[in-house]
């Protein structure tokens, strides 16, 4: 990383780290949750911006991560033999076997990362190993998002149904609603974001990162150079799934709820606009776009609720047709694998001079 770029990153990190001292509690809680969501956006940059395969189902992995942690939080603080409230209301008399392991916070935290990664990897493998086209992949991820949301809503007794999981017990003995816990959660979120950002940056510099870009620009070509492209795509998608899972868990912990409303088709596609606005190839763009869009959404939809959908619809159209490289493209910094600064491979004609 060039020195100047590194300093800018450090400066931004400093400003964010001091958030609890200069932001109101309300804005801090917003920032914390948006930073969590931007971890998911980093994953989208990897698979969509670099690998060129679009996921319309990132909400699935966000949800899996969120539910994995929330299941632990529902069980925490319960006496042995007691059931979470919604199970009692639904008339269950004992805990389903697949809920039991989540009693241990360590298991739940591991599941936050591993379950979405494994599900994403398996899904990607099932699609890609038969050489199904990228467009089909996108549509199948969308069907996946719909299917999971439907499943969660319909299995009220096991998942909390439409309302999802809320009203949490303590994590490692700490109640998440305490004021000090909120600050700690913010710090943990920022730390997780830094770690994921670092990991993705390292990937962008690795041979793997360049391979992803190469697969995007000419998959057959890469195959004809002797690479089996499937494992790389599967690995990238599993990584994005893990990022989304972490994001979902941090979100659930901060907001105090995870529900099918964050899993389905609509929220999943909405996640793409974060990355598209920021610039789909740039990691910094993904974080920036996520924060901008979400703060914008919070502001617009509280001031004029009916206008927000118009704004977002317009954003999708304008960003895709006029600004395919997003804000990141305007700033044109190199953070994608390869010389992204002077090429715009997603568009047939180079966007810049």
Partner 1 sequence: MTELGLVASQLFNGISLGSILLLAALGLALSFGLMNVINMAHGELLMMGGYLAYLAYRMPVGPWRLPLALLLAAAGAALFGALLELTVVRRLYGRPLDTLLATWGVSLLMQQGARSLFGPVGVEVTAPDWLAGAIPLRSIGLPGVELPLVRLFIIAVAGVVLAGLALVLTRSRWGRLVRAVQEDRDMAEALGINSRRVDLVIFMIGTGVAGLAGAALALIAPVTPTVGQSYIVYAFLVVIVGGLGSLTGTAAAALAVGLLSAWLQVFTSVSLADVLLLVVVMAFIQVRPRGIVTRLSRALEEA
Partner 2 sequence: MTNGPLLQVEHLTVSFDDFKAIDDLSLTLEPQSVRVLIGPNGAGKSTLLDAIIGRVRPSAGRIVLRGTDITRMPAHRIVRAGICRKFQTPGLLDSLTVYENLALADARGRGWRAALRTRPTRDQQVRTEQILQLTGLTAERHRPAGRLAHGQKQWLEIGMVVASDAELLLLDEPAAGMSHGEREQTADLVQRLTTRHSVLVIDHDMAFVERLRAPVSVLHMGRLLKEGTLQEVRQDPQVRAVYLGRADELECDCA
User: Taking the complex as a whole, how short is the minimal distance between the CB of residue 164 and partner 2, in angstroms?
Assistant: 37
User: Taking the complex as a whole, how short is the minimal distance between the CB of residue 16 and partner 2, in angstroms?
Assistant: 26
Host H or E run for residue 165: strand 165-166
Question: Exactly one of 15, 94, 101, 136 binds partner 1 (CB under 8 A); which one?
Answer: 136
Looking up tokens 């319960």 gives 78
Instruction: Choose the one of partner 1, partner 2, none that binds residue 309, judging by a C-beta under 5 to 8 angstroms depending on kind.
Output: partner 1
- Going by C-beta distance under 8 Å and a sequence separation of 6 or more, which residues neighbour residue 351? 324, 325, 329, 344
Burial class (CB in 10 A: 0-12, 13-18, 19+), 136: exposed
Q: State which of positions 159-218 bind partner 2 (CB under 8 A).
A: 202, 205-208, 210-211, 213-214, 217-218
Structure tokens at 307: 């206008």
Q: Which of 42, 62, 46, 65 is nearest to 233 (CA)?
A: 46
Residue 128 contacts residue 70 (beta carbons within 8 Å): no
Would you say 31 or 319 has its CB closer to partner 1?
319
Question: Exactly one of 7, 10, 132, 174 binds partner 1 (CB under 8 A); which one?
Answer: 132
Q: Which of 199, 336, 339 is nearest to 278 (CA)?
A: 336
Burial class (CB in 10 A: 0-12, 13-18, 19+), 217: middle
DSSP letter for each residue of 21-37: HHS-HHHHHHHHHHHHH
Choices 63-71, 87-95, 172-180, 263-271 (CB under 8 A): range interacting with partner 1: 263-271
User: Taking the complex as a whole, how short is the minimal distance between the CB of residue 286 and partner 1, in angstroms?
Assistant: 15
User: Taking the complex as a whole, how short is the minimal distance between the CB of residue 193 and partner 2, in angstroms?
Assistant: 22
Choices 8-16, 90-98, 148-156, 190-198 (CB under 8 A): range interacting with partner 1: 148-156
Alpha helices in 160-282 (DSSP H): 179-205, 207-223, 229-255, 265-278
Q: How far is 251 from 217, CA to CA, in rounded Å? A: 34
Question: Exactly one of 96, 191, 314, 352 binds partner 1 (CB under 8 A); which one?
Answer: 314
Three-class SS of residue 292? helix
Tally the C-alpha atoms within 13 A of residue 126's C-alpha that lie toward its C-beta: 9
Asked if 135 touches partner 1 (CB under 8 A), the answer is yes
Asked if 340 touches partner 2 (CB under 8 A), the answer is yes
Choices 95-103, 125-133, 228-236, 254-262 (CB under 8 A): range interacting with partner 1: 125-133
Would you say 94 or 133 has its CB closer to partner 1?
133
Q: Name residue 257's beta-bridge partners.
A: 166
Residue 45 contacts residue 39 (beta carbons within 8 Å): no
Asked if 150 touches partner 1 (CB under 8 A), the answer is yes
Asked if 225 touches partner 1 (CB under 8 A), the answer is no
Asked if 223 touches partner 2 (CB under 8 A), the answer is yes
Residue 256 contacts residue 177 (beta carbons within 8 Å): yes
Instruction: Choose the one of partner 1, partner 2, none that binds residue 295, judging by a C-beta under 5 to 8 angstroms depending on kind.
Output: none
Would you say 173 or 226 has its CB closer to partner 2?
226
Q: How far is 216 from 48, CA to CA, in rounded Å? A: 9
Instruction: Choose the one of partner 2, partner 1, none that binds residue 132, judging by a C-beta under 5 to 8 angstroms depending on kind.
Output: partner 1
User: Taking the complex as a whole, how short is the minimal distance between the CB of residue 212 and partner 2, in angstroms?
Assistant: 10
Would you say 180 or 321 has its CB closer to partner 1?
321
Looking up tokens 């309302």 gives 163
Instruction: List residues binding partner 1 (CB under 8 A).
Output: 54, 56, 126-127, 130-136, 138-140, 142-144, 146-148, 150-151, 153-154, 220, 265-266, 269, 272-273, 276, 306, 309-310, 312-321, 324, 346-348
Instruction: List residues binding partner 2 (CB under 8 A).
Output: 202, 205-208, 210-211, 213-214, 217-218, 220-229, 231-232, 338-340, 342-343, 345
């Amino acid at each position: 990383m060039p020195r100047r770029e590194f300093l800018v990153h450090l400066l931004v990190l400093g400003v964010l780290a001091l958030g609890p001292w200069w932001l109101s509690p309300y804005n801090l809680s917003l920032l914390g949750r948006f930073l969590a969501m931007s971890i998911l956006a980093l994953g989208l940059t990897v698979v969509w911006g670099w690998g060129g395969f679009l996921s319309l189902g990132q909400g699935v992995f966000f949800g899996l991560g969120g539910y994995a942690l929330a299941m632990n939080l529902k069980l925490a603080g319960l006496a042995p033999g007691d059931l979470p409230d919604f199970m009692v209301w639904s008339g269950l008399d004992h805990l389903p076997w697949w809920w039991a392991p989540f009693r241990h916070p360590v298991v739940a935290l591991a599941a936050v990362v591993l379950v979405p990664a494994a599900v994403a990897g398996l899904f990607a493998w099932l699609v890609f190993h038969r050489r199904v086209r990228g467009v089909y992949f996108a549509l199948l991820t969308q069907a996946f998002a719909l299917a999971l949301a439907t499943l969660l809503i319909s299995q009220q007794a096991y998942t909390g149904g439409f309302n999802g999981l809320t009203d949490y017990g303590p994590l490692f003995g700490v109640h998440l609603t305490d004021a000090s816990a909120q600050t700690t959660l913010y710090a943990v979120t920022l730390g997780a974001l830094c770690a994921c950002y670092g990991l993705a940056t390292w990937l962008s510099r690795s041979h793997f990162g360049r391979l992803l870009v190469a697969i995007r620009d000419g998959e057959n070509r890469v195959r004809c150079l002797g690479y089996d492209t499937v494992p790389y795509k599967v690995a990238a998608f599993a990584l994005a799934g893990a990022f989304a899972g972490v994001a979902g868990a941090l979100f659930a912990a901060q907001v105090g709820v995870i529900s099918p409303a964050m899993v389905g088709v609509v929220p999943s596609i909405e996640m793409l606009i974060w990355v598209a606005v920021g610039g789909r190839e740039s990691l910094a763009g993904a974080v920036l776009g996520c924060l901008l869009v979400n703060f914008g959404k919070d502001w617009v939809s509280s001031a004029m609720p009916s206008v927000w959908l118009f704004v977002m619809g317009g954003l999708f159209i304008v960003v895709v047709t006029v600004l395919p490289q997003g804000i990141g493209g305007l700033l044109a910094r190199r953070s994608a694998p390869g010389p992204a600064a002077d090429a715009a491979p997603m568009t047939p004609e180079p966007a810049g001079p």
